[in-house]
Structure 1
């Protein structure tokens, strides 16, 4: 696997090579995931998934059989949300998703034209008073439920400071859609680059900004827990990259 990451075959892994590899692994994982579920939804085998096929496969049984009022309510809430996301992913508007469109539906965070949907769904999940904004208490409630009513732990106090100092950019006490996008989909943050830098920093014994095979093997546990090896899965499979 080290040899496959080494694009220019010079015997060293650079941050750039690791970043490119991690991005390839991420992309492959996403497309494999879509391929795995494709046949469950493409019921008429026309190599497209119509909205009706997806709806029937996902909700058909529940909408017909479930009499439980709470279940009915949650499914009826999820159904229009899924339909909205499906229609956003369906770029040609024919209500039938190609593989690329279905990939955008299942993994919207990876596609530029789906970002507004990711932001909107996040807002709907956290905005309990439904005023169209996320205030500080709603932001905290998404990660911490103070059921015992005691003092908040230090990390929660730190998160409150994060909200006030960084999340709430215009300082009006709440996050609007633009601020939510900055929070969950920051433009200036590259996950693959951050992970590549971390791997080099932790493994680069001689501090020459690149890794030898020995340095990688000496710090193998770090790589097994990384996206660079798909969290270890790639070590047990044979495939050409």
Structure 2
């Protein structure tokens, strides 16, 4: 588990689930690992609305139980208790789901690294747990250069460590694990991205490097359509000054876009799909009628273990 965490951190990502199409774009905490494609299923919406772990629980509930639990959730989302769910209330709910996942992730890892149980994690503790004996073996026979990875981790740890004592409290450790939501971490995220993609070391990302990070061409295999779209986006959107490459500022706008809020976009999407009378807000019945969009249900035989949540 620790090695998996290590690799995720060094690559500068929130998650290491493999995908055919690599993305460097950070979305604060990811709403979902899956592509948003409602033509096939609502999995993205389920994970964005419930959180990834809770979405898996709902997958095993009957439609009746899914609606019952969704009804309880709707009451929680309706913060002003007016009987309607607004776009703003949906957005705040989705953002809170994101934050809860981050908190749970940090808490899950905390005890692995806080070896002396003093409520803080030093760089030495993190280094010893994460790397341990990995540095003892020859570095040229492994897939990863652990010395290089440790140096990158140490640099990120120091940036997250606001008081520069090489000891992280919960807030600093959260910034280390999830840098995408912390202003003071943006420069190091950009630096890590450039180190990964800038193969010629000129401090920029050209079109060849940009595409090469997401797609590797194979002999006899036709280039996917999305690659052509990415080439066009690079020329028209990423490379704003039209010099044929992305500098640090353009790279920041790519991986940490400031003009797009995924929680807002998902709230608008859920509202559009469920607002039958188009009054700009949702009743509980409108949401329950579209329970498959919000929470879904894949099987009908669920067990007692899935009824463990006190709030339900």
Please say whether Structure 1 and Structure 2 have the same fold, judged by a TM-score greater than 0.5: yes
Which among 276, 281, 290 is matched to residue 210 of structure 1? 281
Shift of 1:142: 1.5
Aligned match of 2:184: 113
Which of 94, 97, 118 is the matching residue for 1:46?
A: 118
Q: Which has the higher contact order (CA 8 A, sep 6+)?
A: 2
| SS of corresponding position for 1:165 | helix
How many angstroms apart in 2 are the aligned matches of 1:200 and 1:184? 27
- Counterparts of 1:124-139 in structure 2, within 5 Å, are 124-139=195-210
Partner of 2:92: 20
**Cα deviation, residue 149, structure 1:** 5.1
Structure 1 residue 188: deviation in Å?
A: 1.5
Whether the 8 Å CA contact 2:139–2:145 is kept in 1: the answer is: no
- What SS does the corresponding residue of 2:158 show, helix, strand or coil? helix
2:260 aligns with one of 173, 183, 189: 189
Matched, 1:61 2:133: yes
Determine the C-alpha separation between the residues in 1 that align with 2:208 and 2:220.
14
Mapped to 1, the partners of 2:143 and 2:278 lie a distance apart of: 59
Equivalences, count:
230
Q: Does the aligned pair in 2 maintain the 1:134–1:176 contact within 8 Å?
A: yes
Instruction: State how 1:67-86 maps to structure 2 within 5 Å.
Output: 67=138, 69-71=140-142, 74-86=145-157
Correspondent of 1:171 among 242, 258, 267: 242
2:86/2:282 contact within 8 Å kept: yes
Matches of 1:100 and 1:62, distance apart in 2: 28
Q: 1:239 to 1:198 in 2, by over 3 A?
A: farther
CA RMSD of aligned residues (A): 1.8
Name the structure with the higher helix share. Answer: 1
Q: TM-score, normalised by structure 2?
A: 0.70
Contact 2:85 2:281 in 1 (8 A): yes
| Partner Cα separation in structure 2 for residue 80 and residue 45 of structure 1 | 25
- Structure 2 residue 230 is matched with structure 1 residue 159: yes
Task: State the 1:204 CA deviation.
Answer: 1.1
SS in 2 for 1:13: coil
Note the residue ranges of structure 2 that are not aligned, 5 or more in a row. 1-72, 297-305
Structure 1 CA distance, aligned partners of 2:225 and 2:202? 29
CA distance, structure 1, for counterparts of residue 87 and residue 172 of structure 2: 32
Q: CA deviation at 1:220?
A: 1.8
- The Cα shift of 1:150 comes to 4.9
Contiguous gaps of at least 5 residues in structure 1? 226-234
Q: Shift of residue 239 of structure 1?
A: 5.9
Q: What CA distance in whole angstroms lies between the structure 1 residues aligned with 2:114 and 2:275?
A: 47
TM-score (norm: length of structure 1): 0.90
Q: 2:242 aligns to what SS in structure 1?
A: coil
